[in-house]
Amino acid sequence: EAGVAQSPRYKIIEKRQSVAFWCNPISGHATLYWYQQILGQGPKLLIQFQNNGVVDDSQLPKDRFSAERLKGVDSTLKIQPAKLEDSAVYLCASSRRGQVLAKNIQYFGAGTRLSVL
């Protein structure tokens, strides 16, 4: 089966500009996650969707970050305006069901590497 698709792979912008990332999860996966991975650190969850509803966005900086998953399939993550500290890899992951169930492996995309100058 096809994996999690993300685009673009790389993006370079100047601070205060806006940027959007796109994710297409594995077919049939109800749950979609966006993570931020700063160099040398583990991924940090930004937002989790179950179908097209938000389950957890407690660590999303809502003054500048937004995300949507309108039809319960593809998702976009937007940053507006970007700051220097937003430079990171943005990973999208999907799983069959919500996290509270056993195992429920998350499958990751290759990510979008964002550099804010």
Partner 1 sequence: GQNIDQPTEMTATEGAIVQINCTYQTSGFNGLFWYQQHAGEAPTFLSYNVLDGLEEKGRFSSFLSRSKGYSYLLLKELQMKDSASYLCAVRCYNQGGKLIFGQGTELSVKP
Binding site for partner 1 (CB under 8 A): 3-4, 40-45, 48, 55-56, 91, 98-103, 105-111, 113
Nearest distance, CB of residue 91 and partner 1, angstroms: 7
| Spatial CB neighbours of 111, under 8 Å, sequence gap ≥ 6 | 6, 9, 37, 89, 90, 91, 92
Beta bridge partners of residue 78, listed in sequence order: 20, 66
- CA angle, residues 37, 73, 25, in degrees to nearest 5: 45
Is the Cβ of residue 71 or residue 101 nearer to partner 1 in the bound state?
101
Burial (0-12, 13-18, 19+ Cβ within 10 Å), 110: middle
Nearest distance, CB of residue 12 and partner 1, angstroms: 16
Is the Cβ of residue 17 or residue 87 nearer to partner 1 in the bound state?
87
Q: What are phi and psi of 84, to 5 degrees?
A: -55, -40
Is the Cβ of residue 6 or residue 86 nearer to partner 1 in the bound state?
6
Is the Cβ of residue 56 or residue 68 nearer to partner 1 in the bound state?
56
Nearest distance, CB of residue 116 and partner 1, angstroms: 19
Nearest distance, CB of residue 10 and partner 1, angstroms: 10
